[in-house]
Amino acid sequence: MCQGSGKEGFTLVEVMVSLVIFMITSMGLLPLLLTSIQVNHDNGRNAQARRLAGEVMAELQVIDYAGLLLAAEVPLLVGDIEVQPLVERGVPHTGQSRITVSAVWQQRGQSHRYQLQTVRTAP
C-alpha cells in the first residue's frame, strides 16, 4: 500500500502472491480429496451389494417352500454385482434347507463378496 496517496486496496502483486499460495495449499489437499471420492464410491458399491443380497434373501424367505429350488437357480446381475442364490435341501437336517445369498463384484482388481445365510424349515 502506498502511504499518503489516499488510495487503499491490494496491489496486483499482492493478489498474485496470495493466489499462488492458495494454489500450492490446494494442491496439497488434492490427494485427500481423491481418496475421499474413491472411499465414497467403494462404500456405495458395498451398500448396493448388501441391499441386493438382502432383497433376494427376503424373496427366498417368503416364497413357497416347494418352489424354493426353482427360484434360486437364476443369478441376478445388476451392474457389475452378481447376486448368487443357493439352496441346499436337507442341510443342516432333514426337512430343512440352508439358503445362502452371495453378492460378488470386482473392485480395483480385487474380488469382493457379501454373503447372507439362513435356514428354512419345510411346513
Mean pLDDT per 10-residue run, the chain (123 residues)? 66 95 92 95 96 96 89 90 95 94 94 96 90
Is 43 part of any domain? yes
Tell me if residue 106 falls in helix, strand or coil: strand
Query: From CA 55, how far away is CA 53, in angstroms rounded?
Result: 5
Provide the β-strand partners of residue 116: 101
pLDDT given at position 95: 92
Is 73 part of any domain? yes
pLDDT given at position 69: 87
Q: Which three cell numbers stand for residue 54?
A: 438382502
pLDDT given at position 105: 96
Q: Which three cell numbers stand for residue 108?
A: 480395483
pLDDT given at position 123: 87
Please state the domain count of the chain: 1
Is 5 part of any domain? no
Is 53 part of any domain? yes
Query: From CA 74, how far away is CA 58, in angstroms rounded?
Result: 16
Instruction: Give, as one character, the DSSP assignment of residue 108.
Output: T
Q: Which domain holds residue 38?
A: 12-121
Is 4 part of any domain? no
Beta-strand runs (E) in the chain: 76-78, 81-89, 96-107, 110-121
